[in-house]
Amino acid sequence: MTTTLAPAAAQPVQLHRRPAASVAQQGPWSVDAIQALLDKPLMDLLFEAQTVHRQHWPAGDIELATLLSVKTGGCPENCGYCPQAAEFDTGVKAEKLMEVEEVVRAAQAAKDAGATRFCMGAAWRAPKDRDIEKVSALIGAVKGLGLQTCATLGMLESHQALALKDAGLDYYNHNLDTAPEYYTDVVSTRAYQDRLDTLQHVRSAGISVCCGGIVGMGEAPVHRAGLIAQLANLQPYPESVPINSLVRVPGTPLADSEPIEPFDFVRMIAVARITMPNARVRLSAGRQQMGEAVQALCFMAGANSIFYGDKLLVTGNPDVDADVQLLAKLGLNGHRTTTTDAEPSHPG
């Protein structure tokens, strides 16, 4: 007798798909949406940030920028983090604006070491027109070396921004520092709107915007989310976004602030990358205290620019050899010739 076996019941096939990155945000970023990103499991957040990064930037490309204080100390502002404020006893002495020859020597040394962008900082609340004329000469001289130029001089009027554009300035740095709700805990001599107005003058003049903030100043997590929201909702968002970890300088009001937890700093880098995909996200102040492993996580999270050189204005920074060795260990390329036209264009 022959027995016929019934066909086995079909079993459903289960597909195991790699989780997709979050869909790009449409419209303004809310603080709640950014907080939700910051609250993600770290590995998921890093995966999403690296996915966004690979979609918009070449793998392993790290911009090297050098920052020089061309006019140090004596600033009338009372920014609680800043050792250059005249009212704080930090040992920083007021100095005059550097001469063109001194700046050119520093810029050439930075270029020889591999930097492609040269940033000049001056401790002014707001430069006078005669100051703009002097800085314009510095810009022209540095530009003549084939470097991108950036300046951070304080608040600008619209005609001053236009003069800097005419001098050849590529980027202007003016940080928002923190969320508007926490701003008055950090500085009282300048309003948040003053910062936004300067950014608008810079943008209207046709200069690219470098704008970020500082964490580890005693702010709450919601203020970190609020800072990213302010930056990401600028129209357009900045081409360059420095994220700074507070360097606590004795004599400043924020010298005793609790340092930000390293993984929370990495989260800030990741969320900046996700919300501003075409920006250069710069791993800025505080690198000297991070160690190589945390810096590596920041690069994983989408940081693709660093300040390069042994000093940031008046505070320390990893030396050039240490950075060269770190980038080599990670297989990152920090020596790439960059021109303004080569920067990815911002959508819209």
In three-state form (DSSP H/G/I as H, E/B as E, the rest C), the secondary structure along 62-112 is CEEEEEEEEECCCECCCCCCCCCECCCCCCCCCCCCCCHHHHHHHHHHHHH
For the chain, the average pLDDT equals 83
Closest to 184 (Cα-Cα) out of 219, 236, 146, 148: 219
Annotated catalytic residue within 17, 18, 130, 150: 150
Q: Is there a catalytic annotation at residue 119?
A: yes
Answer yes or no: is pLDDT of 188 > 60. Answer: yes
Question: 211 an active-site residue?
Answer: no
Q: Enumerate residues 6+ apart whose C-beta is below 8 A from 302.
A: 49, 50, 52, 53, 269, 270, 272, 273, 274, 281
Active site residue 79: yes
User: CA–CA distance from 21 to each of 7, 90, 210 (Å)?
Assistant: 41, 46, 27
pLDDT at 199 over 60: yes
Considering 117, 224, 280, 282, which one is annotated as catalytic? 282
pLDDT(240) > 80: yes
The two tokens of residue 10 are 């079909």
CB 108 within 8 A of CB 280: no
CA distances from 68 to 127, 147, 317 (A): 17, 14, 12
User: CA 40 to CA 188: how far, in whole Å?
Assistant: 34
Which residue intervals of 144-281 are DSSP H helices?
Answer: 158-167, 180-183, 192-204, 221-232, 262-275
Q: Is the predicted pLDDT of residue 137 greater than 60, yes or no?
A: yes
Per the CB < 8 A criterion, the answer to whether 63 and 171 are in contact is no
To the query of whether residue 75 is one of the catalytic residues in this protein, the response is yes
| Mean predicted confidence (pLDDT) in 63-73 | 86
Phi, psi of 236, rounded to the nearest 5 degrees: -80, 170
Query: Side chain identity at 318, as an amino acid letter?
Result: P
> Is 298 among the residues known to form the active site?
no
The pLDDT value recorded for residue 88 is 76
pTM metric for this prediction: 0.83
Q: Which of 75, 211, 287, 298 is catalytic?
A: 75
- pLDDT for residue 77: 82
